[in-house]
Structure 1
Amino acid sequence: MAELSVPVAFDPANLSLDSSVPGLALFDGTHEALIDALNVSIGRFAAAEPAHRIGVPQVISRALLERLGYVESFPQLLGTVFTYEGDDRQWREIVPALRRGESWTQRHELADAVLLPAVCYHLYPQLAGAELTAPAVFDLTGQCYRHERTAEPGRLRAFRMRELIRIDAPDATMAWRDGWTERARDWLGSLGLTASIVPASDPFFGSAERLMGSMQRAEQLKWELVVEVADGLSQAVVSCNYHKNHFSEEFGFRMSGAEAHTSCTAFGLERIALAVLHRHGPDRRNWPAELAVAAAPVPGTDGRP
């Protein structure tokens, strides 16, 4: 007699949320509520400085990243996109190999878009040739990808970033970066997190690593705010960067007829959420007051983060 199969009861509140790929995570409702609260809280903290809010797609022009030197400096982190360029007949010839678990990527070619490594890269081409008459601040949010090769907690391949970018005269831009380094530490403190400010450099690859990394540290172009995200593990959750004229020179935008410089403050939302959950746990009643009040609208705005 055939054995009857009994379907497993489906409980949407008790999913495993396992992507099966290291560095790719699915998040439950508690985590998503925390991300929403963090976004509103950042908006509150930045509200004194009007900013142009921009949402960006999770892919970006490959030619742009080639132009900016990202492909040359960080090939180990870049996620590329390939698409099938063959015809229907050629695909029918490939399908049997796919079904046998063999390679099916023949006739795939590199696309004109790659995965976005940092949200600010979408901004600078929009300013090409612009003549700014006053300092400008932009507030960008998007999904990023970096091909991390570790399963260390917090070191995700796909993550959300919120980034504030300032365009101003050189001295003012660096002062803004330094001011936001302190403000970001205060903000993390309001979340119950103790942050250390450390000089840092980007993970340049190959021959660029020694020269570019040393210069970035020597000129103190990048500061990172490091907090504990797991027992015995601390990671950078915010970075504050001074780009000098790197982007303004490339795209030809100026400030009142003079050279423009740029700085940015970048918030890694997933890592900050991980740190908050490590410090306070998943019970929302134990979260700090700053996150509890984050859902209230900011005066003078439409209340959106």
Structure 2
Amino acid sequence: MADFPTRTADAPLAGGLTLETGVPGLVAYGSTFESLIDGLRHSIGRLAADDAPTRFGVPPVISRALLERLGYVETFPQLLGVVHTYEGDDRQWRELVPALRRGESWTHRHEVSDVVLLPAACYHLYPHLAETEFAEPAVFDLTGHCYRHERTAEVGRMRSFRMRELVRIDAPASVLDWRDGWIERAAGWLGSLGLPVTIEPASDPFFGSAGRLMSTMQRSEQLKWEVAVEVADGLDQAVVSCNCHKNHFSAEFGFRLGGGEAHTSCVAFGLERIALAILHRHGPDPRSWPAELRPDPGPTREEPIPDANVSRT
């Protein structure tokens, strides 16, 4: 089920699934799709309950200065969405309106603002941890709308998407164990939803020649792993990313654990991609979805998550 209904004259939102916007990689979602997203949120929350995370909802924009400080602007300029705003007065705008009406450029007096579109939910967290001395490990649960300026628009390759992300602050060895545990936990959870999965080492799409070196280092140290599932016929995509940042954020913001060095790891869930995989596997009728994802899931399941159908590469 690779293709979903789109808007037609007699079906404003056919099947309650998706609505095309005319912009590649930008999709609106109907009631059926949103009920599936809600089911996934609740299911992930139950999956993460043992970590007792502190939850945050984060805005879809973030400080441009912060992403410059963290190196994101330098390493991922091809993915960054920058917010521009009009800085002129009424008279200057009246001079630009005729150009707008003629379909010509009307952005001459726009300037880069102090915010950019959020590329990952966790970036909002780290400044709030500055100079914190943690007495014990901590886990944070963040959800937000993210944006990446993807150059392709196949199924699941979205510019705007929702991310649920867990971040752990812990000692170097322990934070890696937590990350590795979540690789298996996420794969088992997806398997319990009827989705065959593949686990593979990965790297971020760093930009330029220096970026290729960073990608090589990231893969060689196995800092990033992805859990992929089929979202359309013959098309597998990563739906969960499990990463170890080492001391990248703790060194920048000066937070520590028990008087020693703190490292961070994260696990990120792409909610729309997982929903697409569920629809591809089980169809658009909620009655055919796994019980815990249905709008009325019934009693909470008590059985353990079964072993996933996993292959490692």
Structure-2-length-normalised TM-score: 0.90
Q: Distance in 1 between matches of 2:100 and 2:205?
A: 36
1:8-43 deviations in Å (ceiling 9; x for gaps):
988655488220000000111111000000000000
User: Which of 164-173 and 8-17 deviates more?
Assistant: 8-17
The alpha-carbon deviation at position 207 of structure 1 amounts to: 2.1
Secondary structure at 2:143 match in 1: strand
Please state if 1:129 is matched with 2:131. Answer: yes
Task: Specify the alignment match of 1:166 in structure 2.
Answer: 168
1:63-91 deviations in Å (ceiling 9; x for gaps):
00000000000000000000000011100
The alpha-carbon deviation at position 289 of structure 1 amounts to: 2.2
1:176-219 deviations in Å (ceiling 9; x for gaps):
00000000000101111011110000000012222100000000
Secondary structure at 1:207 match in 2: helix
Task: Specify the alignment match of 1:22 in structure 2.
Answer: 24
Which of 44, 55, 62 lines up with 1:60 in the alignment? 62
Contact 1:97 1:103 in 2 (8 A): yes
1:235-274 maps to which residues of 2 (within 5 A)?
A: 235-274=237-276
Contact 1:40 1:295 in 2 (8 A): no
Secondary structure at 1:189 match in 2: helix
Task: Specify the alignment match of 2:234 in structure 1.
Answer: 232
Pick the structure with greater CA Rg: 1
Please state if 1:203 is matched with 2:205. Answer: yes
Task: Specify the alignment match of 1:77 in structure 2.
Answer: 79
Q: Distance in 2 between matches of 1:89 and 1:206?
A: 42
1:270-301 deviations in Å (ceiling 9; x for gaps):
00000000000001111112323885698xxx
- CA shift in 2, pair 1:56/1:213, >3 Å: same
Which of 146, 149, 153 lines up with 1:147 in the alignment? 149
List structure 1 segments (4+ residues) > 3 angstroms apart after TM superposition.
8-16, 292-298
Contact 2:57 2:144 in 1 (8 A): yes
Question: Aligned AA for 1:287?
Answer: W
The alpha-carbon deviation at position 135 of structure 1 amounts to: 0.5
Task: Specify the alignment match of 1:51 in structure 2.
Answer: 53
- CA shift in 2, pair 1:177/1:296, >3 Å: farther
Please state if 1:108 is matched with 2:98. Answer: no
The alpha-carbon deviation at position 48 of structure 1 amounts to: 1.6
Structure 1 vs Structure 2 CA RMSD: 1.9
Q: Tell me the matched-pair count.
A: 292
Task: Specify the alignment match of 2:286 in structure 1.
Answer: 284
Q: Distance in 2 between matches of 1:13 and 1:255?
A: 50
- CA shift in 2, pair 1:207/1:9, >3 Å: closer
Contact 1:53 1:138 in 2 (8 A): yes
1:89-104 maps to which residues of 2 (within 5 A)?
A: 89-104=91-106
Secondary structure at 2:28 match in 1: coil
Q: Percent identity?
A: 72
Structure-1-length-normalised TM-score: 0.92
Secondary structure at 1:22 match in 2: coil
Q: Distance in 2 between matches of 1:78 and 1:232?
A: 29
Contact 2:291 2:298 in 1 (8 A): no
Question: Aligned AA for 1:146?
Answer: R
Secondary structure at 1:111 match in 2: strand
Contact 1:162 1:267 in 2 (8 A): yes
Task: Specify the alignment match of 2:222 in structure 1.
Answer: 220
Task: Specify the alignment match of 1:302 in structure 2.
Answer: none
The alpha-carbon deviation at position 151 of structure 1 amounts to: 1.5
Secondary structure at 1:75 match in 2: coil
- CA shift in 2, pair 1:166/1:95, >3 Å: same
